[in-house]
Structure 1
Amino acid sequence: MKILVTGGAGFIGSAVVRLAVRRGHQVVNLDALTYAANLDNVAPVSDSELYRFEQADIRDRPTLDRIFARHRPDVVMHLAAESHVDRSIDGPAAFIETNVMGSFNMLEAARAYWTDQGRPQDFRFHHISTDEVFGSLGKTGQFTETTPYDPRSPYSASKAGSDHLVRAWHETYGLPVVLTNCSNNYGPYHFPEKLVPVVILNALAGRQIPVYGDGGNVRDWLYVEDHADALLLVVEKGRVGRSYNIGGENEATNIDLVRTICAHMDDLHPQGAPHDRLIAFVPDRPGHDRRYAIDPARIRDELGWRPSVTVEQGLRRTVEWYLDNRDWWQPLLARDGVGKRLGTG
């Protein structure tokens, strides 16, 4: 299978690229190489004959058409997106341009290519989205595929918009699509502005570890390599027109997650322990959703998928990876906005 992966130099996209190549698929990685992208993320497979890279922006329709014509993919896995909620608060325009208009361009380029190829039934456009489109839960309940959309941030609103476009292109034009909405990812190669790497790297440096609000916000944590496995399963076996929620079955409050990371740091890097002494509660960000939780019954019952990594196991692997890969993350600390408080409104 030849897969066109958009955003394949990003965090989740690169996990998909690495796993797909390891499984023998041909992969074309389309990425604009914006601030959070890093070709080092795909270095383990970049020398493979199965791998190709195209630097392109999904807002550039003519270039997309040329890439489809040149590589003739069997499926598209669309992950390219602006994804940092705090940045969306400070600068929402980039999120609308990339996540909405960029997805529109991808859909139109894919539709034109699919039509030109005679509308093959086995073609797939797999749109990868987030559970944040569903809004915020109370103390109980879980998101299902039929949960009404209720986005609360510019980021989640832009992703909700792209989800609606994908469904519309299926219903109106017959484009064979599948959608997935995932919970919070973490793991190796995570850009160092996100919570888990911020905690690890601040603990390592002896700096304050910021926790928003009272730390009681709940997320369902999904190890990124488990997510990549689920995404490849959906693109191969998911039902056309269907959406699948992908969760880690690992709910935790932010403060409990941070303390678990600190405990792993105490064990793996005892210099500076106890690291939880660095925790500092800071003012919450605007519109911070209180709780997300995924009901993964559909992907479990229809496709037989369940996560293989617990949050305890995954966090330890992640801490070990950051301790062992300083050459990867140290240059990224100089990129725009990294290490600064964003999204204060």
Structure 2
Amino acid sequence: MIQGLPNRDFWRGRRVLLTGHTGFKGAWMLFWLEAMGARVTGCSLAPEQPQALFSHLHSPDRLASEIVDIRNPQELATLVARARPEVVFHLAAQSLVRRGYSDPHGTFATNVQGTNNLMQALAQVNTALAIVVTTTDKVYRNANDGRAFVETDPLGGHDPYSASKAACEMVVDGWRSRFAAEGCGIATARAGNVIGGGDWAEDRLVPDAVRAWSSGQVLQVRRPEAARPWQHVLEPLRGYLVLAEKLSSGADMAPAYNFGPRAESASVRNVLSLAAAEFGDVRTEFADTPEGPVEAQTLDLDPSLAEVDLGIQGLWGLDRTVTLTAQWYRNFLSGRQARELCEADCCAYLDSVRRASMACIQ
């Protein structure tokens, strides 16, 4: 078995509960899990965008029994009892910083109380061997000093979204001993900024750029020098899968893992410059001073722990990540099928994992 590559034999026939399966990352994760033969039960709200990736990759028929709001403990408990999951990936969240400002109540209700509802439902069923709860790189108390965060750094949050995800970490920690006593491993996964084909969410950099450029409009950028740890969506998903396998085996794992690129964070301006090169003649206007609600100017992660414990290393640098993402959108808008494009990216990524593994052996 190749280190750092999900084991298909482990996932074949495995009962998996995936919350947030209609979202961008969730749709990619569902695609990957089902390709390995897992028996996945989804739990999510209906897709927000009419062109949502989920709608292109998965049959709408499955939504009839899987549209459940994690803020509703009764409906959630019923779904969990039906699924009886062996592995749980909790991706459902209110995941937008600016929406957190406009709807702080809904943000905390989803990210904090929704997570607690899920933990309670799972404890009642008591079938899970592994639970991976995804949070964010924004859970850390950020002094904007440019230092890469490690998992033992203090948690914080200067906006409702970041604070709600830090609080989500505390909810998970409060349930940890309960699940450990039943032989279930649980860990949180803190991923850097994720991009890739099929994200159509409002107020995210790449989807906003694609919408503007493809319609001939000028892209307005409010924080061009903000730096983030950008990575392709397949990078952290691989980490989540391998982490779940380790937790299921009873291995002594850390309570949290960072998943991000090896390289330093890159600016919004840099990412857009790479993307624009793929789209051709496009127009972008950068604000002279930061606009909008307060957001961290600099954010960076240290992924060393995941490299040591899981054999997970970032494989695609910024250039390839942005180029492949831009090509996905350009091809999709030209009439190519989303499934075909996702399959091509998955094959390319798995080939990169195998090549990296062989290089390490040699």
Give the TM-score of the pair, scaled to structure 2: 0.79
Measure the CA separation in 1 of the matches of 2:84 and 2:262: 37
Which residue of structure 1 lines up, in the alignment, with residue 20 of structure 2?
7
Q: Per the alignment, in what secondary structure is the counterpart of residue 81 of structure 1? A: coil
- Is 1:156 aligned to residue 162 of structure 2? yes
Q: Per the alignment, in what secondary structure is the counterpart of residue 230 of structure 2? A: strand
Pairwise CA distance, 1:111: 1.0
Contact map agreement 1:299 1:305 (CA 8 A) in 2: yes
- Is 1:197 aligned to residue 207 of structure 2? yes
Change (3 A) 1:102 1:74: same
Which residue of structure 2 lines up, in the alignment, with residue 95 of structure 1?
107
Q: Per the alignment, in what secondary structure is the counterpart of residue 64 of structure 1? A: helix
Pairwise CA distance, 1:292: 0.9
Pairwise CA distance, 1:218: 0.6
User: Runs of 5+ in structure 2 lacking a partner?
Assistant: 1-13, 336-362
Pairwise CA distance, 1:151: 0.7
Which residue of structure 2 lines up, in the alignment, with residue 332 of structure 1?
none
Which residue of structure 2 lines up, in the alignment, with residue 44 of structure 1?
57
Contact map agreement 1:76 1:126 (CA 8 A) in 2: yes
Measure the CA separation in 2 of the matches of 1:254 and 1:321: 19
Pairwise CA distance, 1:107: 0.8
Pairwise CA distance, 1:139: 4.8
Contact map agreement 1:27 1:52 (CA 8 A) in 2: no
Which residue of structure 2 lines up, in the alignment, with residue 108 of structure 1?
120
- Is 1:58 aligned to residue 70 of structure 2? yes
Contact map agreement 2:146 2:298 (CA 8 A) in 1: no
Measure the CA separation in 1 of the matches of 2:33 and 2:312: 17
Aligned Cα root-mean-square deviation (Å): 2.5
Q: Per the alignment, in what secondary structure is the counterpart of residue 308 of structure 2? A: helix
Measure the CA separation in 2 of the matches of 1:155 and 1:9: 20
Change (3 A) 1:308 1:264: same
Change (3 A) 1:107 1:205: same
Measure the CA separation in 1 of the matches of 2:52 and 2:146: 40
Measure the CA separation in 2 of the matches of 1:204 and 1:70: 43
Q: 1:208 aligns with which of 214, 218, 222?
A: 218
Q: Which runs of structure 1 show a deviation greater than 6 angstroms over 4 or more consecutive aligned residues?
A: none
Pairwise CA distance, 1:173: 5.7
Q: Per the alignment, in what secondary structure is the counterpart of residue 180 of structure 1? A: strand
Measure the CA separation in 2 of the matches of 1:40 and 1:140: 34
Measure the CA separation in 2 of the matches of 1:86 and 1:17: 27
Greater alpha carbon shift after TM alignment, 292-301 vs 138-147: 138-147
Amino acid at match of 1:136: N
Pairwise CA distance, 1:37: 8.6
Measure the CA separation in 2 of the matches of 1:299 and 1:280: 35
Contact map agreement 2:239 2:310 (CA 8 A) in 1: no
Contact map agreement 2:52 2:200 (CA 8 A) in 1: no
Measure the CA separation in 2 of the matches of 1:15 and 1:197: 16
Measure the CA separation in 2 of the matches of 1:236 and 1:52: 29
Any idea what the Cα deviations from partners look like across 1:140-188, whole Å, max 9, x if unmatched?
4201100111211100111111110001111356463111101000001
Measure the CA separation in 2 of the matches of 1:38 and 1:113: 35
- Is 1:243 aligned to residue 267 of structure 2? no
Which residue of structure 2 lines up, in the alignment, with residue 263 of structure 1?
277
Aligned length: 312
Contact map agreement 1:21 1:45 (CA 8 A) in 2: no
Contact map agreement 2:221 2:284 (CA 8 A) in 1: no
- Is 1:217 aligned to residue 223 of structure 2? no
User: Runs of 5+ in structure 1 lacking a partner?
Assistant: 267-272, 329-345
Which residue of structure 1 lines up, in the alignment, with residue 87 of structure 2?
75
Change (3 A) 1:253 1:134: same
Aligned-residue sequence identity (percent) comes to: 25
Q: How does 1:163-202 map to 2 (within 5 A)?
A: 163-171=169-177, 174=180, 176-193=185-202, 194-202=204-212
Which residue of structure 2 lines up, in the alignment, with residue 253 of structure 1?
267
Q: Per the alignment, in what secondary structure is the counterpart of residue 300 of structure 2? A: coil
Any idea what the Cα deviations from partners look like across 1:62-100, whole Å, max 9, x if unmatched?
112211221211011101000111111112111011111
- Is 1:310 aligned to residue 292 of structure 2? no
Q: Per the alignment, in what secondary structure is the counterpart of residue 69 of structure 2? A: coil
Which residue of structure 2 lines up, in the alignment, with residue 133 of structure 1?
139
Amino acid at match of 1:123: L
Contact map agreement 1:186 1:223 (CA 8 A) in 2: yes
Measure the CA separation in 2 of the matches of 1:93 and 1:145: 27
Q: Per the alignment, in what secondary structure is the counterpart of residue 278 of structure 1? A: strand
Greater alpha carbon shift after TM alignment, 196-205 vs 279-288: 279-288
Contact map agreement 2:24 2:53 (CA 8 A) in 1: no
Change (3 A) 1:262 1:53: farther
Pairwise CA distance, 1:44: 3.1
Any idea what the Cα deviations from partners look like across 1:271-319, whole Å, max 9, x if unmatched?
xx2x2x4323175222210111111101101110112222211212211
